[in-house]
Structure 1
Amino acid sequence: MEIKLARIDDRLIHGQVATVWAKEAGAQRIIVVSKEVNEDEIRKTLVKQAAPPGIKVNIVDVEKAIKVYQNPKYKTETVFYLFTNPSEVVALVKGGVPLKTINIGGMQFRNGKTQITKAISVSQRDIEAFYELKELAVTLDCRVVATDPKIDFEGKLKEAVTN
């Protein structure tokens, strides 16, 4: 399986992902890796309906994503992984899926989160997961759209920790 792109965006498939990132990835399949979405039939249906034409979409939990990655049947597939949070990215990488870079695009503000960019808010658990990804040699690429300049995401995380 060839990984074309991996992105955290808790909105999953929406305008930017369907038009810009899917084109940028050039993958045959989008795999949404999220236990929460996988267990929500309505959300699963909505995500599949939002898929760009000609791209297959699967919604799975981390364990299933690892099994699919390891299955020789999918060896020639090109994929675009989408996540809602960094903790599931950590679990996927620890499970043997070799992500080199994770694009961080959107994580909505909620109670208990700190806003670190216009589009990204993080909890303490998120911060710990991002640091763990760095330890696992995964590059943190923070851009809302592909043409945006890269942001010093680690600097933003450090600011969030000290505030």
Structure 2
Amino acid sequence: MDIKLARIDDRLVHGQVATTWTRITGISRILVVSDEVASSELRKFLLMQAAPPEVKTNVMTVSKLIEVSDHTLLDNVKVMLLFTNPTDVAEVVEAGINLETVNIGGMKFSQGKKMITNFISVDDQDIEAFKFLSLQGVELEIRKVPSDRKQSLIEILKKVE
């Protein structure tokens, strides 16, 4: 599996992902990695409909990604991994899937979270997962679209803590 982009965006497959990110990364497959989404037939169906027709899309649990990550069927397949939260990303990295960079595109505000940018909200669990990823040498960069200037999530967290 040739991971061209690992992205946290709780909207998952949407306009920016379906057009800009898929084109610039040259991927042929989107893997949506979320236990919650994988358990909803309706959400799976809607996400697959939102993807560009030339890009195969699969929705799977975190454990399923870990299980299939080194399968020969994914050899040389250019993929985008989409996650809803950093805890799932940390689990994948802890299981041995190598991610050099994780792009953070959007994490919505909800009860118990604090806004750290105008489109990223985190709670203590998110912060711990981001710190773990950083300690593993994973670059955590914030960009909604590829043309945005990269911002370091860790530097922003240092300012708000």
TM-score range for the pair, normalised by the shorter chain length? over 0.9
Q: CA deviation at 1:14?
A: 0.6
Larger mean Cα displacement after TM superposition, 4-13 or 15-24: 15-24
Q: CA deviation at 1:160?
A: 3.3
Cross-structure match for 1:72? 72
Cα 1:152–1:101 shift into 2, 3 Å: closer
Equivalent position SS for 1:70: coil
Superposition RMSD in Å: 1.0
Measured in 2, the distance between the counterparts of 1:122 and 1:46 equals 26
Cross-structure match for 1:22? 22
Cα 1:141–1:152 shift into 2, 3 Å: closer
TM-score (norm 2): 0.96
Which amino acid in the other structure matches residue 78 of structure 2? T
Cα 1:160–1:41 shift into 2, 3 Å: farther
TM-score (norm 1): 0.95
The alignment of Structure 1 onto Structure 2 pairs a total of residues equal to 161
Cross-structure match for 2:48? 48
Q: CA deviation at 1:97?
A: 0.9
Identity of aligned residues (%): 49
Per-residue displacement from partner, 1:95-150 (whole Å, max 9, x unpaired)? 11111000000000001100011110011100110000001111001111110111
Equivalent position SS for 2:69: helix
Per-residue displacement from partner, 1:21-58 (whole Å, max 9, x unpaired)? 11122111000010010011111111111001200000
Gaps of 5+ in 2: none
Measured in 2, the distance between the counterparts of 1:65 and 1:47 equals 17
